[in-house]
Structure 1
Amino acid sequence: MCRWMAYKGKSIYLEDWLLNSNHSLIEQSKASDMANFEVNGDGFGVGWYGNKLEPGLFRSVRPAWNNVNLESLAGHVASPLFLAHIRFATGTPIQETNSHPFQYKNWLMVHNGQINQYHLIKKQLINLIDEEYFQYILGSTDSEILFYLLLSHGLEANVEQAIITVVKLVESLAAKHNIDHSLRMTLGISNGESIWAVRYSTCSKSASLFYTLEESDGQCYLLVVSEPLEYGSLSWNAVEENAILHFDKNYKKQLTTIFH
């Protein structure tokens, strides 16, 4: 399974959490504690927000632990909000367009999980994507299709409702094809101000997802992670099963439950 993280707080260098913490995302690409597979070496990506509306984006097919460009970039780019992802490929090619995050205008999304037997309902799902967004699909993963399904069903207006709608669409199509345990996912989504964290599974056996709200130098910061980036001083809270957590620009938390 893939691993991902999201950060919001004062502007910091990307390397602070990507490289320098004692269980950093780069360390997890070599030795994950909570994923089904210990090594996640099928690509890496990071999207960060700065002074422009749209985020910067760096994606690579190289393993995160063996990417000198990433090390240089992370040591020189600072951001108050960024999302990063290490990939474990499940049946789709290892190519840059299949690496996360996925980006549309000011929106970023990272994903861990899968649509079970995706190939059986792929065409029907793609047909549910609006033409407005269809032209931006570059890769071949179910993750990217989920992103554009969310956009097609109102992500920019109401994130929670878009997620609930797409969950129901996927599960309904899967049921028609007798696909069990159709959806298992965690999502990280941002518009440059807020962060949404999603933990969901049709069979209520979701992949791990944690968050922590901390304070440093009198300022709040938020981390949402597939597994803890640091063992020791931080207090990690598990995101509830079948839930959407929204942290707004002022770090106010709102929980929405996704009902089966």
Structure 2
Amino acid sequence: MCRFLAYSGDPIFLDTLLIAPEASLVSQSHSAREAKTVVNGDGCGVGWYGARSEPGLYRGILPAWSDANLASLCHQVEAGLFLAHVRSATSGEVTMANCHPFSSGRHLFMHNGQIGGYEAVRRSVEALVPDDLYGLRRGNSDSEAMFLAALGHGLSHDPAGAIAAMLRTCLRIQHANGITQPLRFTAILADGQTLHAFRWASDDRPPSLYWRQLDSGIAIASEPFGDPGDHWHPVAAGTHMTVAGGAARCEEFAVLETQPA
């Protein structure tokens, strides 16, 4: 399982959260505490919003703990909205194209989880990506395919609805192919103004997610970082969290359509 972090608030240097704190994301790349895989060394990436509408993006296949370019960039770049990810590959080779975050226009997306049995349904899931977006496909991971499929479901206008529709369709594909392995989806989406965090799984065991109010803004992370006494709020399974304008809001995230009584 991967580890990630997102921040929204007053502009800060990226290394303030990604490198400097105790148990920082870069530290989690070699010693995660709440993941099945302690080492997340299959690449790393960071995306940030600056003066232009489209985000900046850096991705590389080196482990975060040994990527000097990542450290230098984080020491120099200041942003009020950014996402960062360290990867433990469950689907797709260790290539830059499979590193998170993924981007399209003003959107950034990163994911922790997997479509169970993905290799058996990969072709069907990729078919969910509209033709006009398929040219954006660079890697072969399930995460990128889910992002592009959600874009095709109207992600720009209704993020929660598009993500739910995409997950429902992936579940139907799994069921149609007799796959009983779970679909697990803990993810962050950003558009330059708002952060959307999702924590959901078909078996009610999604990867971990927490959030914390900082002096400068709000951080969302796979696992807490900073001083031991810092107060982090766990995000419940089946939750859609939005962060905008310095405020966080959590609401139920329902993927399966309820049947009338």
Pairwise TM-score range, normalised by the shorter structure: over 0.9
Quote the residue 1:162 is aligned against.
162
For structure 1, which segment, 101-110 or 249-258, has the greater mean C-alpha deviation from structure 2 after superposition? Answer: 249-258
2:175 is aligned with 1:175: yes
Mapping of 1:218-229 within 5 angstroms?
221-229=217-225
Report the CA distance between 1:259 and its aligned residue.
4.4
Question: Identity over aligned residues, as a percent?
Answer: 33
Question: Counterpart of 1:58?
Answer: 58
C-alpha RMSD of matched pairs (Å): 1.2
**Deviation digits for residues 194-229 of structure 1 (CA, Å, limit 9, x no counterpart):** 00111111000111100112334xxxx110100012
Aligned AA for 2:128? L
> Could you say what secondary structure the match of 2:122 adopts?
helix
Equivalents in 2 of 1:198, 1:229: separation in Å? 20
Q: Is the 8 A contact 2:98 2:139 kept in 1?
A: yes
Question: 1:228 and 1:250, CA in 2 relative to 1: closer, same or farther beyond 3 A?
Answer: closer
Match of 2:95 in 1: 95
* 8 Å CA contact retained: 2:61, 2:99: yes
Contact 1:181 1:202 in 2 (8 A): no
Corresponding position: 1:251 with 2:247: yes
State the shift of 1:25 in Å: 0.4
Moved runs in structure 1, 4+ residues, more than 4 A?
none
For structure 1, the 5+ residue unaligned runs are: none
Unaligned runs of 5+ in 2: 257-261
Task: Name which of 232, 237, 255 aligns with 2:233.
Answer: 237
Aligned partner of residue 81 in structure 1, secondary structure: strand
TM-score for the superposition, normalised by structure 1: 0.95
How big is the shift at 1:98?
0.5
- CA deviation string 1:222-245 (max 9, x = no partner): 101000122334311111111111
Structure 1 CA distance for aligned equivalents of residues 75 and 44 of structure 2: 16
Report the counterpart of residue 47 of structure 2 in structure 1. Answer: 47
Task: Say which SS state the counterpart of residue 73 (structure 2) adopts.
Answer: helix
Q: Which amino acid aligns with 1:47?
A: G
What's the CA shift for 1:110? 0.6
